[in-house]
Chain A
Amino acid sequence: MISPISCVMSESLAPTASPTAAIEVLSAEKTYPDGTHALQPVDLRIEEGEFVTLLGPSGCGKSTLLKMVAGLLAPSNGQLLLWRKPVSLLEASAQKLAFVFQSPTLMPWASVEANVRLPLDLAGVPRPEAEARVADALKLVGLDGFKASLPHALSGGMQMRVSIARSLVIEPHLLLMDEPFGALDEITRHKLDAELLGLWAAKKLTVVFVTHSIHEAVFLSTRVVMMAARPGRVVEQFEIDEPYPRSAEFMVTPQFSRYAKRLQDSLLRASHVDTDTGTTRA
């Protein structure tokens, strides 16, 4: 049932094999000018509608990979395609991807409403239309009563909701999230995880989610991409073949524990490989 998929498999698929591929990473790697090998060549294909989690310890290159998909970082080698177009060639109008950072990344001087409206303002959307869309997005994240508040008046979880509303307001097809709930307390985190799944299903989003929490990965994903550090690389992939909607009860089922155990073992195996080749620095 749980079958690790070799990541080489996707390499054999031609990039144009399916019209529904949202993201294709073709042997993309990242080496920094100082020689740090942040990411060994990665081949990865993400279909539309998937919820894929990049899981791994610090320094495994998961954020690097996500930022390359977003076009925030250029790969040193290889190529990334979004809807079969190179990332750098995406036009502003066609670019339906939204990025959620680890911190809420809000403008502290602007109201919640102005913060959520920012991408529409930057794109020149007329004010009345923008305001209607902002109101919808705030309703989606349950913050319709906080339009006029300033970010510092909100809790960390609420600020993150504002950040998510700002991503949803552009009606993205692809949502890229870089450890978005990592700084929140456990309870808020579970709550936002559940809400995110609701949005993913309702909006038919494709989500790529970076985390270092095994439990979060199992709870959220249709597929988990396990990564290892030094050098950053993709180790294994796991389908989480469990039905949605997933509730909090899912987290106390035996299946959940089995998935978590598999991921844990995979993570340990990856670390052992490191030790054997002597590349791990404790």
Chain B
Amino acid sequence: MSAPILPLIRQPRVQRVLYPALVAVVLLGAWQALVVGMELPPYLVPSPWLMLKTLISDWAVLGSALLVTLEITLLAFVVATVAGVLISFLFVQSKLIETALFPYAVLLQVTPIVAVAPLIIIWVKNPTAAMVICASLVALFPIISNTTLGLRSIDPDLQSYFRMNRATRWQMLVRLRIPSALPYFFGGLRISSGLSLIGAVVAEFVAGTGGTGAGLAYQILQAGFRLNIPRMFAALLLISLTGVALFAAMAWLTRRALGSWHASESSHE
């Protein structure tokens, strides 16, 4: 049923962008109408239009703040990924190691980062490094748990087949364990990318670093003190957009890396 008129709208790809966009237009329209209609002052709720204008007029401040937050987020994401993968490989070497260390991974996960961040910021001189450490700690756990699970979830028959063909430990790892773990690993990446951003924002709040190294969270704090609510909203918008962009990047990366073989990727479309 490919009608010549409106063939685009039938495509799932177009629908996936179009429908959320329509919701956004409706919501923003309602927001704008409410603010204008009820004559709400900008220091309580700015209109979306004002928010956009502030974003452009304050871009010098907000743009550089965005770069700082992005830097911390991405560094933390990389550190968490590398450390998480290494720890997972350590865990699957022996059940003993995992049993001994896994509770501490959980401990890291359940301890609120806001409570630990002041300590880290005192201990680590370099503020950027301190914030990266905080954000990595937040993002670490999903990588560890997912990758460990993935490295362990091997088809037992396939494992027998490798053993029967006298596969070495290395062959087993490269040809069986790692490919089997990839879907789980990418699932972990998707969660951790968002957590890195959350971790970075929390770390910035706690560190409260101003000056040239100020990130978006600091701008939100400052704007709050000065009742510059439009700028606060603009900074908030940038953080949300960053999170969405990270998620989209991870989804794209997962599709590229896994192609069509894995069920979680092939059954969607």
**Which of A101-109, A188-196, A198-206 touches B?**
A101-109
B146-180 interface bits toward A, Cβ cutoff 8 Å, 1 = contact, 0 = none: 00000000010110111111110001000110010
In this assembly, does A143 line the interface, its C-beta being within 8 Å of a C-beta of chain B?
Answer: no
Chain B interface residue count, Cβ-Cβ cutoff 8 angstroms? 23
Shortest distance from the beta carbon of A163 to any chain B beta carbon, whole Å: 9
Q: Which of A117-143 contact B (CB under 8 A)?
A: 118-119, 121-123
Flag whether B260 is at the interface (Cβ < 8 A).
yes
Chain A residues near B162 (CB-CB < 8 A): 122
Inside 8 A of B261's CB, which chain A residues have their CB?
Answer: 108-109, 150-152
Tell yes or no: B182 within 8 A of A by CB: yes
Q: Which of A103, A107, A150 contacts B179 (CB 8 A)?
A: A107
Say yes or no: A122 contacts B166, CB within 8 Å.
Answer: yes
Q: Which of A70, A101, A123 has the most chain B CB within a 10 Å cutoff? A: A101
Decide if B266 is an interface residue (CB 8 Å cutoff). yes
State whether B161 touches A101 (Cβ < 8 A): yes
In the complex, A70→B163 CA distance in Å?
A: 11
Chain A neighbourhood of B10, CB < 8 A: none
Decide yes or no whether A231 CB sits under 8 A from chain B.
no
Question: Are the CB atoms of A103 and B157 closer together than 8 Å?
Answer: yes
Determine whether A99 belongs to the interface, using a CB cutoff of 8 Å to chain B: yes
For window 106-136 of chain B, which residues contact chain A by CB distance below 8 Å? Answer: none
Shortest Cβ distance from A104 into B: residue: B157
Q: Does A72 contact B (CB under 8 A)?
A: yes
Say whether B53 faces chain A, with CB atoms less than 8 Å apart.
no
Looking at the assembled complex, report how far the CB atom of A280 sits from the nearest CB atom of chain B, in whole angstroms.
Answer: 30
Q: In the bound complex, how far is the Cα of B260 from the Cα of A106, in angstroms? A: 15
Name A91's closest neighbour in chain B (CB-CB).
B166
Tell me the chain A residues, 84-121 only, with Cβ under 8 Å from chain B.
92, 95, 99, 101-103, 105-110, 118-119, 121
Among A224-267, those with CB < 8 Å from B are none
Contact A101–B179 (Cβ < 8 Å):
no
- The answer, yes or no, to whether A71 is at the interface (CB within 8 Å) is yes
Main secondary structure of the interface of A (DSSP, over half): loop
Q: Is the CB of A99 within 8 A of B166?
A: no
Residues of chain B contacted by A152 (CB below 8 angstroms): 260-261, 263, 266
A105 touches B155 (CB 8 A): yes
B158, B165, B182, B258 pick with most chain A CB within 10 angstroms: B165
| Contact A92 B166, beta carbon cutoff 8 Å | yes
In the bound complex, do residue B157 and residue A101 qualify as a contact, i.e. CB atoms below 8 Å apart? yes
Contact of A70 among B164, B182, B258 (CB under 8 A): B164
Residue of A whose beta carbon sits closest to that of B163: A72
- Which residue in chain B gives the minimum CB-CB distance to A93? B166
Closest CB in chain A relative to B35 CB, distance in Å: 52
Docked CA distance A109–B265 (Å)? 12
> Roughly how many angstroms separate A122 CA and B172 CA in the complex, as a whole number?
9
Q: In the bound complex, what is the Cα–Cα distance between A151 and B263 (angstroms)?
A: 12
Question: For the complex, what is the distance from the CA of A140 to the CA of B164, rounded to whole Å?
Answer: 23
Q: Are B158 and A105 in contact (CB under 8 A)?
A: yes
Closest A residue, CB atoms, query B267 = A152
Question: Quick check: B157 and A122 within 8 Å, CB to CB?
Answer: no
Complex: chain B residue closest to A178, CB-CB? B157
Q: Are A119 and B165 in contact (CB under 8 A)?
A: yes
Compute how far the CA of A121 lies from the CA of B161 in the bound complex, rounded to whole angstroms: 13
CB contacts (< 8 Å) of A92 on chain B: these are 165-166
Q: Which residues of B sit under 8 angstroms from A122, Cβ to Cβ?
A: 162, 165-167, 171, 175
| Minimum distance in angstroms from B106 CB to a CB of chain A | 30
Pairwise interchain contact A72-B164, C-beta atoms closer than 8 A:
yes
Give Cα A108 to B160, complex, Å. 16
The answer to whether A109 touches B182 (Cβ under 8 A) is yes
Instruction: Find chain A residues with CB under 8 A from B158 CB.
Output: 105-107
CB proximity of B262 to chain A, nearest CB, Å: 7
Docked complex Cα distance between A122 and B18 (Å): 49
Contact of B160 among A72, A95, A110 (CB under 8 A): A72
Shortest Cβ distance from A90 into B: residue: B166
8 Å CB contacts to B: which residues of A49-106?
Answer: 70-72, 92, 95, 99, 101-103, 105-106
Q: In the assembled complex, how far is the CB of residue B34 from the closest CB belonging to chain A, in whole angstroms? A: 50
Given A109-B262, A118-B165, 10 new contacts (CB under 8 A) = A70-B164, A72-B164, A101-B161, A103-B157, A105-B158, A109-B179, A119-B165, A122-B171, A123-B166, A151-B261
Name A's B-contacting residues (CB within 8 A).
70-72, 92, 95, 99, 101-103, 105-110, 118-119, 121-123, 150-152
A-B contact pairs, 22 of them (CB 8 A): A70-B164, A71-B164, A72-B160, A72-B163, A99-B164, A101-B160, A103-B157, A105-B155, A107-B175, A107-B176, A107-B179, A108-B262, A109-B182, A109-B259, A109-B262, A119-B165, A122-B162, A122-B175, A150-B260, A150-B261, A151-B261, A152-B261
